[in-house]
């Protein structure tokens, strides 16, 4: 197990109530929650206590835990964290076509709102990430997911998303794209595949996570991503979600500070308080079934 990620720092502006990081992971403790498959990376020291410390430091009310592929379909660590978070966490699980509807219903009742499907490939070989589940299982699971109320979270390259746009739009469940749709920065925002993604977003057919760090190595400010971020915000801010990707698996010294990522988001959205609240708090509250926030107490 590698070291814990560096401590997070607060953003310059306090976050709105209900602010949510929609893409995070937890690992361990491995003696209690061992991995199901051998990972391609050294898993970080990132148990639920460390996750909670990050949220407190940044001022996040809520977060979404995404099942790491090395845990496979064993969601024990994630479900344990959700159960102890008093409604502050939701989960994205892994399931295969062999998973029963009864198991999916139990996951949903325990705080899982979606299943993740990965067609992104490991660097340098084109092999699937160990433990991941692909689109073929997604198609077979879609009817049960629709009945239960689960959405599909998709991690795939932008060209694959564009090629399978009709498939994704016809699943009958909400579709959430990881990592801004995993576009090719070198092709620029006029790339036809990215424009197809923008069309899906503009039509409300997909949601997109504004997670910067997997699309650029120009840490810490990612200036090459600004045109893509602007295009996504302009296309449909009602279907955007903010995400950090904490604990930044395999990024080492290039791991960002979640507080700085929020500062970039604020700068790139021009200080629009309404837009900020919509993307950080209102949109995730709608998608992830978070309970209503307590009403402020009346004062005399």
Going from the C-alpha of 139 to that of each of 73, 107, 149, the distances in angstroms are 17, 19, 15
> Tokens 């306090």 belong to which residue?
14
Residue 186 in contact with residue 152, Cβ under 8 Å? no
Cα 8 from Cα 246, distance rounded (Å) = 10
Of 248, 263, 191, 175, which is closest to residue 214 (Cα–Cα)? Answer: 248
Contact (Cβ atoms closer than 8 angstroms) between residue 92 and residue 48: no
Distances in whole angstroms, Cα of residue 177 to Cα of each of 48, 187, 215: 24, 19, 13
Q: How long is the chain?
A: 300
Q: Look up residue 99 and give its DSSP letter.
A: S
What is the per-residue DSSP string for 168-220?
Answer: HHTSSS-EEESGGG---GGG-TT-HHHHHHHHHHHTTS-EEEE--TTS--STT
For 234, the 3-state DSSP assignment is helix
Q: Which alpha helices (DSSP H) does the chain contain, by range?
A: 48-58, 76-83, 101-109, 135-148, 158-163, 165-169, 192-202, 226-235, 258-268, 273-277, 283-287
Positions marked active-site: 245
Helix (H, G, I), strand (E, B) or coil at 151: strand
- Map residue 242 onto helix, strand or coil: strand
Q: Is 15 left (phi over 0), alpha (psi -120 to 50) or beta?
A: beta
């Amino acid at each position: 197990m590698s070291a814990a990620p560096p401590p997070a720092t607060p953003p310059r502006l306090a976050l709105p109530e209900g602010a949510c990081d929609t893409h995070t992971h937890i690992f361990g403790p491995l003696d209690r929650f061992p991995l199901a498959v051998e990972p391609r990376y050294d898993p970080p020291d990132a148990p639920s206590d460390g996750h909670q410390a990050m949220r407190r430091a940044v001022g996040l009310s809520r977060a979404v835990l995404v099942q790491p592929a090395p845990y496979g379909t064993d969601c024990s660590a994630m479900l344990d964290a959700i159960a102890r978070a008093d409604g502050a966490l939701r989960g994205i699980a892994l399931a295969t076509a062999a998973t029963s509807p009864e198991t999916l219903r139990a996951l949903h009742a325990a705080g899982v709102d979606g299943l993740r499907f990965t067609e992104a490939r490991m660097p340098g070989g084109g092999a699937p990430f160990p433990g991941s589940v692909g689109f073929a299982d997604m198609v077979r699971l879609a009817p049960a997911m629709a009945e239960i109320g689960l959405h599909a979270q998709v991690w795939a390259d932008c060209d694959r998303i564009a090629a399978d746009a009709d498939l994704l739009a016809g699943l009958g469940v909400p579709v959430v794209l990881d990592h801004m749709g995993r576009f090719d920065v070198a092709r620029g925002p006029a790339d036809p595949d990215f424009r197809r993604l923008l069309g899906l977003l503009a039509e409300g057919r997909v949601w997109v996570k504004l997670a910067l760090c997997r699309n650029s190595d120009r840490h810490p400010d990612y200036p090459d991503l600004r045109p893509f971020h602007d295009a996504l915000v302009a296309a449909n801010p009602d279907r955007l979600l903010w995400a950090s990707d904490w604990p930044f698996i395999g990024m080492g010294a290039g791991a960002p500070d979640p507080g700085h990522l929020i500062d970039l988001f604020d700068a790139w959205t021009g200080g629009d308080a309404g837009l900020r609240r919509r993307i950080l708090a209102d949109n995730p509250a709608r998608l992830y079934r978070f309970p209503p926030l307590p009403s402020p107490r009346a004062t005399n």
